Structure 1
Amino acid sequence: MTTPQQGLLPATRRALLHRIAVAQAEERTPSLVAAVVRGGERVWNGGRSSSDGPGPDENTQYRIGSITKTFTAVLVLRLRDEGLLDLGDRLEKHLPGTGAGEATIADLLAHTGGLAAESTGPWWERTAGSLRPNLSDVLGEHPLRHPVGRRFHYSNTGYTLLGALVEEVRGVAWAELLRREVFEPLGMLRTSARPLPPHADGWAVHPWADAMLPEPTQDYGLMEPAGQLWSTAADLALFAAFLARGDGRVLSDDSLREMRTPAAPTPAEDLPDGSSYGLGLQIQHRDGRLLVGHGGSVPGFLAGLTLGVEDDVAAVVLTNCTSGPAVSEVAADLVRIVADAEPRVPEPWRPLPDVGVGDLDLVGQWYWGTKAFALRLTADRLLALEPLSGSGRRTRLRANGDGTWSGLEGYFAGEVLRTVRRPDGSVDHLDLGTFVFTRRPYEEGAAVPGGVEPGGWRGLG
C-alpha cells in the first residue's frame, strides 16, 4: 500500500526524494526508506534501493536500534501515570539486588544513572542474548562508571534495567507489554521484537570498496529494551504523530511534554550542537528549530526519527547498513525541507468560550522591580508570562483549580503563582515563588520585599 502523495506540493516531494537519493547513493547503503508526517498524518514516503526491481517500501521492516529506548520510556511513564511508581524512586525500591539501586528511575531514563555504556562480555549487539541470562551478566561486578546523577553518560545497560523494572511491576514480558499498551492502540501492527516478512536484511558495506557482507541478526535477551525492535517507516510515522499530538490511551500530554524536556546535566563535549536528553528522547536545537526524537544503530541497520515540535512536521529514515548516512541528520533535513517550503498554516484565531472576571484581573502589564512583563491568557487557557523587552525569565502557567497557577517551564517551572487581593477584592500584587509583581514599578505602599522609599521616584537634583 502506498499513501497518496497529494499532501505536499510537487516541488517539495521532489526535494524530499532528492535528499534521500543523495543519502543512499553517496553513503552507499543497500536501501533507504523514509516517511514524513505533517499535522498528524503521513503525507509522503519514499525509498531508494541498490537492487533491480521493486525495493523496500514504507511497510518493510528494518531494525530500529535505540529508538527502542523511547518505547521503553513510554512504558515506564505509563507506570508513573498510574501511580505504580515515582520517577524519584530509587531502582532498589522496585528491583532490588542489581548493584545499581542508588540510581533513580529518572536517572536511568535520562542516562544520568552513572552506569556503563555497554554490557560486560563480548559485543552484545553481535552475540546471542543467551550469553547474558541474568542481570548480573549484563551489569558485571562494577556496574557504575560515574557518581549517580552527576553527568550524562549514555547507557544501554540503564535501559536494560528499565525493561526489567517494567516487567517486575507489571508481571508481563516487556515485548508483550509494548504490543498491548503501545503498538495496538496506535495501530502499529508492523512493529515487533522479532522480524516479520517482508523485512530488510542487515549488511556491512566495505569502507574502501563497493562490496557487502551480511551482518548476523541476534536476539538481545535482557538487552532487548535498549535496542531490539523492528519496525517500518509507516509504523514509526504513527509513533511520530503520537509524540507530536499525543493519545490519551497511551500516555498523557503532560508526560509527553516531560519526555521532551531536557533532564540531563550534559557535558558540552558529550552532546554538541545544543543537544540534550530528556526522558527517552534526544533533544536538539538546529537552525533555530527545536527537534526531538531518537536515533538507532545496530549492526546492519541505522534508523532516525525526528520531530520538529513547532512546525508539527516529523520524519523517519531507515537503512540497512552498519555505517552509512547520518540518518538523524537526513531526517532533520526532511523536516526542514517541508517546514521551509510549506510553512505551517496557523489555526484561525477564536475567542475563548468563556472568560472570568478573575482571569482578566491577572492579564496585562506587571513589574518585577523595574522590569516590565506581560501576562497573557492563551487559547489553551494557560497564562503566559514574558518580558516586554530584552531577555528575562518567562514561563507558561497552568491553573490549579484553587486560584493558584503552577509554572510549566524555565526558571519558574513548578513554582506557584498566587494572587494577593485587597479588602475590596481588587488585585494588589502577584507572588510567583516569592517574586512580587506589581502594576507599577516599585509602587508606593505595595508589598515589595524590603519596602519602597517613601519619597518615591526623583531626579538627581
Structure 2
Amino acid sequence: MTTPQEDLLPATRRALLHRIAVAQVEGRAPSLVAAVVRGREAVWHGARTSVDGHAPDADVQYRIGSISKTFTAVLVLRLRDEGVLDLGDPLEKHLPGTGAGEATIADLLAHTGGLAAETPSPWWERTPGSLRPELADVLGDQPHRHPVGRRFHYSNPGYTLLGALVEQLRGAPWEDVLRSEVLEPLGLRRTTRDPQAPHAGGWAVHPWADAMMPERVEDLGRMASAGQLWSTTADLARFAVFLAKGDDRVLSAESVREMRTPAAPGEVSDVVAGASYGLGMQLQRRDGRFLVGHSGSVPGFVANLSISVEDDVAAVVLANCTTGVPTTEVAADLVRIVAEAEPRIPEPWRPLPEVDQSVLELAGQWYWGTQAYALRLTAEGGVSLGPLSGPGRRARFRANGDGTWTGLDGYYAGEALRAVRRPDGSVSHLDLGSFVFTRQPYDEGAPVPGGVDPEGWRGIR
C-alpha cells in the first residue's frame, strides 16, 4: 500500500490509463499490463483486457525476453566485485575453447565482441533449446561478424557465453545462481525460468485481420541467459528500484551506476537518436530525459523496463503479443507523464554531518589556465569540480581516504585528483590527471608546466 503522500493524482492516473488503453487498442494486444515506480515502490498498476477471463494484476507472469540479459549482467558484475574476474579479461581466461575467447567480458556485456546477432539456423526463439546443447551449436563455425571491440553489434550468443561463464565460475546452473544471488535477496518471488500460474499465454495477431494464433513456448536451453525469464510488473518494479539505487546484498549503488554508464555506441542512426548501451542495459535520451533499462521480445511477448534516475520514476510494460505494441515508447511515455505532471520533490537541504577542514580549505575558485572552476564538497563525502559558468568539463570525485579523490563521471572518470602542498603545509595547487589548477590564473607561485612569463600580466599597445 502507498501512503497518501505517495499516491498519484487522479489526473495523472487517468493519463497513465489512457496511454496504455491506446497502446492496447492500436497494438491489438490480447492483454497489456503496466506499472509505474516512484521512490522505492510501485505507485500505479494498470491493465487492459484479460488473462484467463480476469483482468491481469501485478502478480500475473509474462515472458520478458531480453530483459533477462540485465539479470545476467548483474551476475557477472557480482563476480567482478568479488575479484573473481576483471571486465578486461578475455573470455578465454575463464571459459576456454569457445572460439570466441578473444572478446573481453566487457565486450560481451556491451555487445562489442563482434559476435553474430543470432545463432546458426534454425531460428532459436522458435525451436527447442535441445537443438543447441553445446556452446559450439550456439556460436557455429563462424561466430564473428565484426572485429572484436570495434563496433556495437547486439548479440544473443554473446549473452549465452556470459551465462556459461557464470555457470563455470559458480559451479552451478545459471538459473540456480540467479535465484540465490539476485531473485531471493531482492524478493523477486515471481521471476522464474519457466512459467508459473497465473501467467499469460503468448499470441500472434494476424497483421490484416483481428484473428489470433497461439505461439509455442520453447525452453531456450543454453540461450536461457539471453531471454528465458518470466516475470511480473510487481517483480520488475522491485528490480527497477534496485537498478536505480543498488542494494548491497546484490550490487552496490556504484556498480549499478556503472551498468547504466554508456559502454558502447549504437549504430549511427541510434547515436543521432541518443541511444547507446551500457553493461547489460539499454540507454536512450527521449523527451529530454535519460532513460535506462531494457526491452524484451520473444514470440508471443513484448516487454520493456525504463528508468529515469534523475526523475526517480520507472515504468514497466508487458504484453502478450509477438508484435504490435511499442513497449519502449509506451514505457517512456509513462515515465514522462508522471515526471511532468508531478515533478520530483527534492530532498530537504541539510548541512553536512561533519566537515573535514583540510578539504574545506580547498573549496572555492580555481583556475585551469584562465578558465575559472569551482570545487565544492558534496553530501556524499566527495567533491565536485566544474566551470563557474558556461560549458566545460565537470566531474564528481569519490574520496579515497588518503587525501586523494577518483573521478566518477565525465572527462575525468577514473582520473586522480590531489591537492599538492608546500613544505609548510599550505596548498600550492591541485593536480588532476597532470593538469594544474591554481588559485589565480597562471599563479607564478605554483609550478605551472612551461613556467609563467616573469613580466606577468600586461597590456599591449
Shorter-normalised TM-score: what interval?
Answer: over 0.9
**Aligned-partner Cα distance in 2 for 1:212–1:272:** 37
Which amino acid in 2 is paired with 1:138? V
The unaligned stretches of length 5 or more in structure 1 are none
Q: Tell me how far 1:448 sits from its aligned partner.
A: 1.0
Q: SS in structure 2 opposite 1:75?
A: helix
Q: In the TM superposition, what are the counterparts of 1:413-432 in structure 2 within 5 Å?
A: 413-432=413-432
Count residues with an aligned counterpart: 460
The answer to whether the 8 Å contact 2:51/2:200 transfers is no
Is 1:65–1:227's contact at 8 Å kept on the other side of the alignment? Answer: yes
Q: CA deviation at 1:444?
A: 1.9
Q: CA deviation at 1:272?
A: 4.8
The change in CA–CA distance for 1:81 and 1:268 in structure 2 (over 3 A counts) is same
Match of 1:445 in 2: 445
Tell me which residue corresponds to 1:24.
24
| Cα distance change, pair 299–52 in 1 and its aligned pair in 2 (3 A) | closer
Q: Is 2:87 the partner of 1:87? A: yes
| Paired letter, 1:452 | V
**Structure 1 residues 346-365: aligned runs within 5 Å:** 346-365=346-365
Identity over aligned residues, as a percent? 73
Once the 2 structures are TM-superposed, how far is the Cα of residue 364 of structure 1 from its aligned partner?
0.5
Secondary structure class of the residue paired with 1:423: coil
2:243 partner SS: helix
Aligned counterpart, 1:158: 158
Verify the 8 A CA contact 2:270 2:276 in the aligned structure 1: no
Write the mapping of 1:38-437 to structure 2, written as runs, cut at 5 A.
38-49=38-49, 54-270=54-270, 272-437=272-437
Question: Aligned partners of 1:100 and 1:397: how far apart in 2?
Answer: 37
CA deviations over 1:116-140 (Å, ceiling 9, x no partner): 0001121100000000011101100
Distance between the aligned counterparts of 2:271 and 2:441, measured in 1? 42
Task: Confirm or deny: 8 A CA contact 1:190 1:235 kept in the other structure.
Answer: yes
Q: Is the CA contact (8 Å cut-off) linking 2:400 and 2:406 kept in structure 1?
A: yes
- Whether contact under 8 Å (1:185, 1:249) holds in the other structure is yes
SS in 1 for 2:380: coil
Q: Is the 8 Å Cα contact of residues 40 and 244 (structure 1) preserved in structure 2?
A: no
Q: Which amino acid aligns with 1:217?
A: V
Q: Deviations over 1:286-321 (max 9, x none)?
A: 122111000001100000000001011100000000
- Preserved CA contact (<8 Å) 1:73 1:279: yes
Task: Tell me how far apart the structure 2 counterparts of residues 4 and 350 of structure 1 sit (CA, whole Å).
Answer: 24
How far has the Cα of 1:88 moved from its partner? 0.7
* 1:150–1:265 Cα contact (<8 Å) kept: no
CA contact (8 A) 2:38 2:314 kept: yes
CA contact (8 A) 2:246 2:254 kept: no
Describe the shift of the 1:364–1:4 C-alpha distance in structure 2 as closer, same or farther (beyond 3 A): closer
CA contact (8 A) 1:3 1:44 kept: no
Alignment check: 8 A CA contact 1:384 1:397 kept: yes
Q: TM-score, normalised by structure 1?
A: 0.98
Given that 1:398 and 1:407 are in contact with CA atoms closer than 8 Å, whether structure 2 keeps it comes out as yes
Distance 1:341 1:408, change over 3 A: same
Taking a change above 3 Å as real, the CA distance of residues 265 and 19 of structure 1, as seen in their structure-2 partners, is closer
Question: 2:430 and 2:3 mapped to 1: Cα distance?
Answer: 53
Whether the aligned pair in 1 keeps the contact of 2:245 and 2:256 (CA below 8 Å) is no
Aligned letter for 2:151? R
* Cα distance in 1 between the residues matched to 2:332 and 2:241: 16
1:270 Cα deviation after fit: 4.7
**Residues 132, 138 of structure 1: 8 Å contact kept:** yes
Distance 2:263 2:343 in 1: 30
Q: 1:319 & 1:53 partners in 2: Cα distance?
A: 16
Dislocated runs of 4+, deviation >6 Å: 2-6
- 2-structure distance, mates of 1:133, 1:422: 66
Counterpart Cα distance in 2 of 1:349 and 1:281: 32
TM-score (norm 2): 0.98
Letter in 2 for 1:91: L
Q: Is the 8 A contact 1:63 1:231 kept in 2?
A: yes
Asked if structure 2 preserves the Cα contact closer than 8 Å seen for 1:39 and 1:312, the reply is yes
User: Given residue 95 of structure 1, which amino acid in structure 2 is its aligned partner?
Assistant: L
Cα distance, 1:50 vs. partner? 5.9
Please give the alpha-carbon distance, in whole angstroms, between the structure 2 residues aligned to 1:388 and 1:299. Answer: 53
By how many angstroms is 1:269 displaced?
Answer: 2.7
Deviates more, 1:162-171 or 1:341-350: 341-350
Paired with 2:337 and 2:54, the residues of 1 have a C-alpha distance of: 26
Which residue identity lines up with residue 35 of structure 2 in the other structure? A
Give the letter aligned to residue 154 of structure 1: Y
Paired residue secondary structure (1:362): coil
Per-residue deviation at 1:52?
A: 9.4
Name the CA distance, whole Å, in 1 between partners of 2:229 and 2:271: 25
Measure the CA separation in 1 of the matches of 2:3 and 2:439. Answer: 55
Closer/same/farther in 2, CA of residues 66 and 442 from structure 1, 3 Å limit: same
Residues in 1 aligned to 2:51 and 2:350: alpha-carbon distance in whole angstroms:
52
2:279 aligned partner, one-letter code: L
